[in-house]
Amino acid sequence: MLKPIDIHNAEFKRTFKGYSEEEVDAFLAKVVGEYEQLFQENKRLRDEVQTLKRQLGELQSKDDDIYGLIALAKQTVEEARDVATSQADSLVTTAKLRSERQVAEVENELQRKRQRIQQLAREEKLFKERMRQLMESFWSMLERTELEIPSEETKVYRDLGLDTETKEASDEPSTD
């Protein structure tokens, strides 16, 4: 590329009918000045282009880093979601198993209590039957004893029994 110094140092042959040396020198000085400005502007623009290319490369590198971080963040979020879902499923399964086990235990306990209630009801019925038999046996013994040995104590009980029987008879409606 032609540099301003090249234009400035250019020398031409002199001829008899040539151009005016002063005009040519003045014109060349003007061309050199403008070319120097263009040359410096071109150099500055090239430097600026290089700087912009370097900055663009850095920005592209940062963009690549950012895109990589975004991809990594997405992957991390997906993995975290998968882990959380897995843990939630595990917790739900564990809770279901525990609740099923507890329900089964409660049902078993309820069944045992029902059986115990039934057993107690049978024992109560048996107890009442035995108590009734015992009372009848005592009553029977008392009646025999009263007939054989009259005493004031048995007379009171007998009178109570008679009073109760008399009262029950009077409370009954007459069938006349």
What does the block give as tokens for 74?
Answer: 């997405």
Whether 35 is covered by a domain: the verdict is yes
Whether 164 is covered by a domain: the verdict is no
Whether 45 is covered by a domain: the verdict is yes
Residue-range definition of the domain harbouring residue 114: 4-151
Query: What is each CA distance from 88 to 64, 94, 95, 96, 101, in whole angstroms?
Result: 35, 10, 10, 12, 20
Whether 165 is covered by a domain: the verdict is no
Position 110 pLDDT exceeds 70: yes
Token pair 């409370």: residue: 171
Q: Are 7 and 35 in contact (CB under 8 A)?
A: yes
Rounded percentage of the chain residues whose pLDDT exceeds 90: 46
Whether 112 is covered by a domain: the verdict is yes
Token pair 């005592």: residue: 138
Of residues 7 and 127, more confidently modeled = 127
Say which amino acid occupies 31. V
Whether 86 is covered by a domain: the verdict is yes
What domain count does the chain have? Answer: 1
Q: Alpha carbon 152 to chain centroid distance?
A: 86
Of residues 148 and 55, more confidently modeled = 55
